[in-house]
A and B are shown apart, each in its own frame.
Chain A
Amino acid sequence: MKESIRLISGEEISRAVASLYAGACIGPHHSVEEKLTGILAGENPGPGREALEIEIDNLKIAAETGLPICQDTGTAVVFVELGNLVCIPDCSLAEAVNKGISRACSGSYLRPSQVFPPLGDRINTMNNTPAVIHLEHVSGSEIKISVLAKGAGSENVSSSVMLPPLAGSLGIINLAESCVRAGASKACPPVIVGIGIGGNLETSGILAKKALLRDLGIENTVPELRELEKQITEKLNATGIGPQGFGGKTTVMETRILQSACHMASLPVTVCIECHAHRTASCVL
C-alpha cells in the first residue's frame, strides 16, 4: 500500500470556509425555496399563508441583493471530515476555520453575534468567532467541510434530555412535541426538527445538529427512523401552529433523525429546532 500525504494549506481551508459561510447566509437557496413553495400550495388563506409568502419573497430578495436572509447569521457550526492522509502544515484546523468565518463576517457584512464571557460583560468578539467545530477523522485524502449558520431563536427552543432507557419512540415523539408546542412560534416556523438519539450527553446534541445537514427531500436510509420521522412530522403538523405561529397546516417542514449506540442504562436525546431560514453549504477539498 502506497499512500502519500496530501498537503492542504490553512489558507485554502479558510477560503473554502469563508465562501461556504457567506453562501449559506445569503443564498440562493433553491431547495428551501422549492420546499416552502410546495408548502404554500397546500396552505389555506390566512395570516399563516401570508407569512409563508413573505418568507419565500425574502429568500429571493436575499439572493438578489446579497443581503443575509436573516440578520441573525448564526453561530457558525462547522463539520469537518478530515481524511487521514491530509496534513495542514501551516496552522491548526481551528485557526484556518476561524479565519474563514471572520473573513466572511467582515467581507460579506454578516452579523457578529458571538459574545465573551457569557456571564457579565458579554463583549461582542466582532467577527463571529469562535466557530463551533465538529471534527471527524476519516480515511482518505480529502476534507469535507459543511457549514451550518445556526440562528439563536430556534436554538433557544431546542432541548437535550436523558430519557429512561426504554422510553422508546413514544418518548422521542413526546419530547419533540413538547419542544414544538412550547417554542415553535419563537423559532420562525415552518421549522426543521433534527433529532439525535443515543451516544451520550454531548453526542446526542451533535447528532441532532448533524441531522440538519441532510438535503431537503432526501429520506432517511434507516427504515424504522424514516417511519418515525414521518410520524413526528405528521403529529407536529396536526398542532396547527403554522408558519410563524399564525395558524396553518405546516409547522414542520421535515424531521430528520440520526442515531448512535448508547449505554444500556441511558437514552440520551436531543431535539434541535431549525428555523425556515435553513442555511447550510458544503464542499470537498
Chain B
Amino acid sequence: MRVVTLPVSGEVLKSLKAGEQILLSGLVATARDAAHNLMLNTGSVPFDIANIPIFYTGPSPAPPGHVIGSCGPTTSARMEPFIPDMLRLGMKVVIGKGEMSEKTRKLFHKHGAVYLAATGGAGALASTKIKSRKIVAWEHLGPEAVSILELDNLPVFVAWDLHNGSIYTRKLSDNER
C-alpha cells in the first residue's frame, strides 16, 4: 500500500486514483460544522489551509494515556455549504466520509482538490494512527474545536481524484461483483 506524506505535492496529488487505499501521514486540521461556520464568519482560518488538509471529525475525549479518543470521520455532505469558500481559500485535500453532490465533485475538480474517505465508524482504529493533537482554536466548542493532528499511516481511500474518478460511482470490475 502506498504511503502518502503530507503536505502532498501536486505531482503526488495527480497520481492518486479513485478507489485506491493509501496510508496518510503528516499534519491535518480537524474542523466540522461549528468550526466552519466560525472560520467563514470571522474570516480567519487558524491553520495553513493550502498545505494542511481538513479532516472532518469531532473526536471523543482522550482517556488517560491516550493522545486522543476515538477519531473517525464525520459525514462530509454536511460541510458542503462551506466547501466553495474553503476551496477558494486554497483547500486542496479533504478527509471525510460519504458521498457528496455531483455539484461539489465538479467544484473539487475545478480547484484541483482531492477528496479522501476514511472509514466511517472506525474511530478506535483511527485513534491509534494519531501521534499528537494540539487544539489551535475555539476550545469552547469541545469536540468541535479546531485542532492539528499528526497522522501516522491512517488508512484512507481516494474518493474523488483529479481525473473525474469517484469511488462512489466506480463501475465495479468483474471480480468485485
Q: A8 contacts the other chain (Cβ, under 8 Å)?
A: no
- CB pair B143 A248 closer than 8 Å: no
* Cα distance A122–B121 in the bound complex, in angstroms: 24
Counting residue pairs across A and B whose Cβ atoms lie within 8 Å, the total is: 160
Q: A24 contacts the other chain (Cβ, under 8 Å)?
A: no
Q: What residues of B have a CB within 8 angstroms of the CB of A98 in the complex?
A: none
Q: B173 contacts the other chain (Cβ, under 8 Å)?
A: yes
Q: A69 contacts the other chain (Cβ, under 8 Å)?
A: yes
The segment from A137-145, A201-209, A211-219, A239-247 found at the interface with B is A239-247
A247 to chain B: closest CB distance in Å? 5
- CB pair B124 A69 closer than 8 Å: yes
- CB pair B176 A186 closer than 8 Å: no
Q: Can you list, as one digit per residue, whether each of B78-99 has a CB less than 8 Å from chain A (1) or not (0)?
A: 1000000000000000000111
Q: A109 is contacted by which of B61, B98, B168 (Cβ under 8 Å)?
A: B61
The segment from B5-13, B41-49, B64-72, B102-110 found at the interface with A is B64-72
- CB pair B121 A109 closer than 8 Å: no
- CB pair A110 B170 closer than 8 Å: no
Task: Output the nearest chain B residue to A277 by Cβ-Cβ distance.
Answer: B121
Task: Output the nearest chain B residue to A240 by Cβ-Cβ distance.
Answer: B172
- CB pair A245 B60 closer than 8 Å: no
Q: Can you list, as one digit per residue, whether each of B130-150 has a CB less than 8 Å from chain A (1) or not (0)?
A: 000000000001110000000
Q: What residues of A have a CB within 8 angstroms of the CB of B57 in the complex?
A: 71
* Cα distance A275–B58 in the bound complex, in angstroms: 17
* Cα distance A73–B74 in the bound complex, in angstroms: 12
Q: A44 contacts the other chain (Cβ, under 8 Å)?
A: yes
Q: A44 is contacted by which of B60, B77, B167, B175 (Cβ under 8 Å)?
A: B175
The segment from A51-59, A84-92, A159-167, A192-200 found at the interface with B is A51-59
Q: What residues of A have a CB within 8 angstroms of the CB of B66 in the complex?
A: 65, 67
- CB pair B72 A244 closer than 8 Å: no
Q: B26 contacts the other chain (Cβ, under 8 Å)?
A: no
* Cα distance A245–B70 in the bound complex, in angstroms: 22
Q: A72 is contacted by which of B74, B125, B175, B176 (Cβ under 8 Å)?
A: B74
Q: What residues of A have a CB within 8 angstroms of the CB of B177 in the complex?
A: 44, 240, 249
Q: B155 contacts the other chain (Cβ, under 8 Å)?
A: yes
| Beyond A111-B69, A187-B98, A246-B117, 18 extra complex contacts between A and B, CB < 8 Å | A46-B173, A51-B119, A65-B128, A67-B70, A68-B123, A69-B121, A69-B123, A70-B72, A71-B59, A71-B143, A72-B123, A124-B142, A185-B168, A186-B99, A245-B98, A245-B168, A247-B172, A276-B121
Q: Chain B: residues with CB nearer than 8 A to chain A?
A: 19-21, 34, 57-63, 66, 69-72, 74-78, 97-99, 117, 119-125, 127-128, 141-143, 155, 157, 167-168, 170, 172-173, 175-177
The 8 closest A-B pairs by CB, nearest first: A186-B98, A188-B120, A58-B122, A277-B121, A62-B124, A111-B60, A46-B176, A71-B70
